Amino acid sequence: DLASGWRQHGSNCYKFKSETMKSWSAARHDCVEEGGDLVSITSQAENTYSLGYICEMTGLIQQAPTGISLWMGGHDSITEGGWEWTDDSKICVSPAGSPDDYFGEDCLSILINGGYWNDDNFASMITNNVTV
């Protein structure tokens, strides 16, 4: 429903949510309640679009030049280093950044300044998430 804050791009719809800081699981639960899921980036074009959409909707780059993290739907909780999306789509983009399992981190986030992907702990509190 585009009237309730969703935006269509190609065959996907996106909705940016930034009410409070949430864990990966809580952010995903909210997205599923809205009829979507955390964003799955399946192409470089989608990665570029997602970053542009977030910046357009929020102006976050101007607010925080050091970077803001957003949850994505990727995780490697089943097999370390075996990244997969919550919607079972294939990971076709090589993540720029440092998904490195530092202290058992298994959930993907993205830094909007530069588009770098990072892994964080399921319980980490991150401010924003994007629903697809």
Give the integer Cα–Cα distance in Å for 49 and 80.
Answer: 28
User: pLDDT tens digits for 8-24?
Assistant: 888 888 887 766 778 88
- Domain extent listing, the chain: 14-43+55-131
For 68, other C-beta atoms within 10 Å of its C-beta total: 21
Fold classification of 14-43+55-131 is Mannose-Binding Protein A; Chain A (3.10.100)
What are the residues facing 97 on neighbouring strands? 117
Total length of the chain: 132
Q: Helix, strand or coil for residue 15?
A: strand
Predicted pLDDT of residue 59: 58
Q: Are 2 and 8 in contact (CB under 8 A)?
A: yes
From residue 122, alpha-carbon distances to 4, 59, 130 in Å are 28, 26, 16
pLDDT in tens, 32-41: 888 889 888 8
Please give the model's pTM, rounded to 2 decimal places.
Answer: 0.78
CB atoms within 10 A of CB 30: 17
Helix, strand, coil shares of the chain as percentages rounded to 5?
25, 30, 50
